[in-house]
Structure 1
Amino acid sequence: MHIIDILDQHQTTFSFEFFPPKTTKASEELFQTISQLQELQPSFVSVTYGAGGTTRDRTHELIVRIQNETNLTAVSHLTSVCHTRDELRAILDRYAVSGIENILALRGDPPRDQSGYDRSNDAFQYAEELVRFIASHPNPPNPRGFGIGVAGFPEGHPCTPNRLHELDYLKRKVDGGAQYICTQLFFDNRDFFDFRERCEMAGISVPIIAGIMPITSRQGMVRMADLALGARFPARLIRAIERCAPDYTNEQVSKVGIHWATEQCRDLLDAHVRGIHFYTLNKSDATRQIYQNLGVKDSIALRSSVT
C-alpha cells in the first residue's frame, strides 16, 4: 500500500524511523525494538540509507526483513549521491521484486570517509531529479509504480539560504511525483506551523508529516546538532536541560526530552497535523513513553482520538 493511501484513510498517521544496524547482534537488538514498537501499530516505518556500499545492502536487507517478518508497511530511503542511473534502476528493480512499494527520495550526503567527493559524477544532482526518475520507473506488482515521499525542512534547508527559493525547489519535487512530505526534526512547533503555511501559499497541497526526535541524553543532543545542520534548540529547552547539571544523567535528560516531545505532539495534534514521524534512533523507550504520556496505548487509539 502506498503511504498516500494510508494518509487518505487516517486524519493523522504515526510512524517510526530506524537505521540499518552494523552487526548481527545490533540487528537482533533492533528487531526486538521493532517488535516492541509494532505493538503500537504504527501507520508505517522507514529505514535510512547511506551512500556507502555496505550500508546500502543493510538498508535493503532490513527493509525486506520488515516486509517479510512483520505486518508493518516499510518505506526505504534512497539517495542520489554516489549512484549512476543503472545502479538506481537496479535498486528499484530489487525493491519491486521484494514487494517494497514506498521510497523516500533524498539528495543525500556523500560518505564521511570521502571528503571532497565530486557530486558531478552522480546521476542526479538534486532530489527533484531522483523523484522524477522513481516516478517513471515501473513497479510490476503495483501498476501505479512506487509511492514517493520527500523531505521538508521547517527551519530551512541547510544548502538553501534563500528561504524563498527553498519552497520553489520543494514544489518541484511535489510536481515531479512526490505524494507527501516528511520533515526534518524540529523542537519549536512554530517553525513547523510557519513551514506548513508557507507550503500552502506556494501551492503545495500534499500531506506534511512532522518529524519528532526526543532528546534522551546531553551527548545525543550535541550529536543531533551536528547531524541535523541548522537545527534550532529553543532557549527554554536548553534551560530545561541545563537544570540537569552537573551530572546530566541520561535518566534526568531523558525525562526532560520526553516531556518536551510529548508537549510538541499534543500541540501538533491539536493543530490537526497530518502525521507524526518519530526518529527512534533504534530505541523504543522514548517513543513508548510519549504514547503513554499522551494517554493511549497504540496509534490506532491515538488516531481515533483525533479524528
Structure 2
Amino acid sequence: MNASSPVQLDPVQEKRTAHDTPLFSGLPGDCEVSFEFFPPKSEKMEAQLWDAVQELKPLAPKFVSVTYGAGGSTRERTHATVARIIAEAGIPAAAHLTCVDATRAETQKIAEQYWEAGVRHIVALRGDAGEPGAPFTPHPEGYASAEELVRGLKEVADFEISVAAYPETHPDADCPESDLDNLKRKIDAGATRAITQFFFAPETFFEFDAQAKACGIDAPIVPGILPVTNVAQARKFAGLCGAVIPDWMDGLFDGLDARPAARQLVAATVAAELCRRLYAGGVRQFHFYTLNRADLAYAICHLLGLRAKAQGDAA
C-alpha cells in the first residue's frame, strides 16, 4: 500500500467502532510480563540499562532476560549483568545461552557458573553465525541445536528453560511443519516455555499457537512484543528472524523521522493495540523486547492494566 494513497474505509464498520467500548477500559491487570535487555558495552549504556531495570521493577515482572553473543567479552557482560540484576534489583533474571563457538564442556561450564551466581532460568538458543546471512556451523565439539543444548543444560542442573518460537517460520527451516517439529523437540527435551520472535498481526500468533497445540506442544507459548520506533531497524531485525513488517506500518511512521516524541507515541499505540487484541484472544503472558529502554514497555503494561507496586509489596 502506498502511504499517500487514500484508504477506503467501511462506513458501517467505522460507525460500529465509534460506539465500541474503549479498547483499554476496565482491564484488571491480570497479565504476567517479562522484559529482555542486552548487555551494555559502555558505562553510559550500563547506566541506561540500570535505569530501565529500576523503572520496570515495580511492575513485578515474572523475569527479565539478558541476551548473549559469541565471544568472551559478550559472555562476560551478560554474566555480570544477570548477576547484578539478581543481587541488586532482586528480580528473577534469565541468561541467554547459545551453541555458537563453544564446546559442550565450555557451555556446561558457563551454565555451572550461572547456577553458582543464582541464575535458575536459561533462554536456550541455537544462535546464528557472526556474519549476517552466513549459515550456522556448529562447533565440532559443541551442541548442534537448541534441542541438544536444552538436554545438556538439564544435565548440569534443574534449570527453568525458555526456547525460541517463530510464528512466521525460522529462515533456516524448509517449511512451517519442520519448524514446528523442531519446537516440539525442544519442548520434549525439557524446555519450560517458548517465547516467540516479534510479529505485528494478532492472527499470526493465534494461528501459530493453534498449529503448535495441534502438533502436541502443550508448553506455554509467550508472544514476544517489539515496540517499533525505527522501521528501518525493525526491517533489519525482521530479515534475521523471518518476521513480516506490514506495509501499513510504513505509512504510520512516514514523515516522523525528525519527530522522536511522535514516533514514540505511534510505536506505543501500535504495540499496545496488538497486545490488547492478543489479550482479547486469551493471552495473559507477554515478553517485551525493550532494546534497553523502559518507557514504551512501561506504557503498554500500564494500558494493559498493570500498576506499579510499592517497594516491599508482594509480587
CA distance, structure 1, for counterparts of residue 188 and residue 132 of structure 2: 34
Structure 1 residues 117 and 163: CA distance shift in structure 2, 3 A? closer
Normalization by structure 2: what TM-score? 0.83
Whether contact under 8 Å (2:103, 2:139) holds in the other structure is: no
| Contact kept in structure 1, 2:128 and 2:136, CA below 8 Å | no
**Matched position secondary structure for 1:283:** coil
Specify whether residues 122 and 162 from structure 1 end up closer, same or farther in structure 2 by C-alpha distance, changes over 3 A only.
farther
The ranges of structure 1 where at least 4 consecutive aligned residues each deviate by more than 6 angstroms after the TM superposition are 113-117
Aligned to 2:196: 183
RMSD: 2.3
The one of 37, 48, 51 aligned to 2:70: 51
**How many angstroms apart in 2 are the aligned matches of 1:24 and 1:275?**
32
| Structure 1 residue aligned with 2:151 | 132
Residue of structure 2 aligned with 1:271, choices 277, 281, 299: 281
> What is residue 140 of structure 2 aligned with on the other side?
121
Match of 2:248?
236
Q: State the 1:126 CA deviation.
A: 1.0
Which deviations, in whole Å up to 9, do the C-alpha atoms of 1:88-139 show, x marking residues without a partner?
A: 111011011111101011000123499687435251111111011111223x
Say whether the 8 Å CA contact 2:33–2:61 is kept in structure 1.
Answer: yes
Q: What is the CA-CA distance between 1:232 and the residue it aligns to?
A: 0.6
CA–CA distance in structure 2, aligned partners of residues 299 and 183 of structure 1: 27
Contact kept, 8 Å, 1:52 with 1:111, in 2: the verdict is no
Q: Which 5+ residue runs of structure 1 have no aligned equivalent?
A: 1-9, 139-144, 301-307
1:64 aligns with 2:83: yes
Aligned counterpart, 2:43? 24
Q: Percent identity?
A: 39
- Give me the whole-angstrom Cα distance separating, in 1, the residues matched to 2:234 and 2:199: 12
SS in 2 for 1:22: coil
Distance in 2 of aligned mates of 1:64 and 1:247: 37
User: Following the alignment from structure 1 to structure 2, what is the Cα–Cα distance between the partners of residues 234 and 114?
Assistant: 22
Which deviates further from its counterpart, 271-280 or 13-22? 271-280
User: 5 Å matches for 1:194-213?
Assistant: 194-213=207-226
Q: Would you say the 8 A contact 1:217–1:250 is kept in 2?
A: no
Cα displacement string for residues 236-269 of structure 1 (whole angstroms, at most 9, x for unaligned residues)? 3222223xx2745222222222111000111111
- Partner amino acid for 2:270? W
For 1:1-307, list aligned pairs within 5 A.
12-112=31-131, 118-121=137-140, 123-138=142-157, 145-226=158-239, 228-242=240-254, 245=255, 247=257, 249-298=259-308
Paired residue total? 282
Structure number with larger C-alpha Rg:
2
What's the CA shift string for 1:29-61, capped at 9, x where partnerless? 211111111122211100001011100110000
Residue identity opposite 1:206 in structure 2 = A
Superposition deviation, residue 11 in structure 1: 7.1
Q: Which moved more, 1:68-77 or 1:215-224?
A: 215-224
SS at match of 1:119: coil
Matched letter for residue 16 of structure 1: F
SS in 2 for 1:39: helix
Query: TM-score, with normalisation over the residues of structure 1?
Result: 0.85
Aligned equivalents of 1:299, 1:112: Cα separation in 2: 43
Provide the rounded CA distance (Å) in 2 between the counterparts of 1:114 and 1:87.
26
Counterpart contact for 2:67–2:95, Cα < 8 Å:
yes
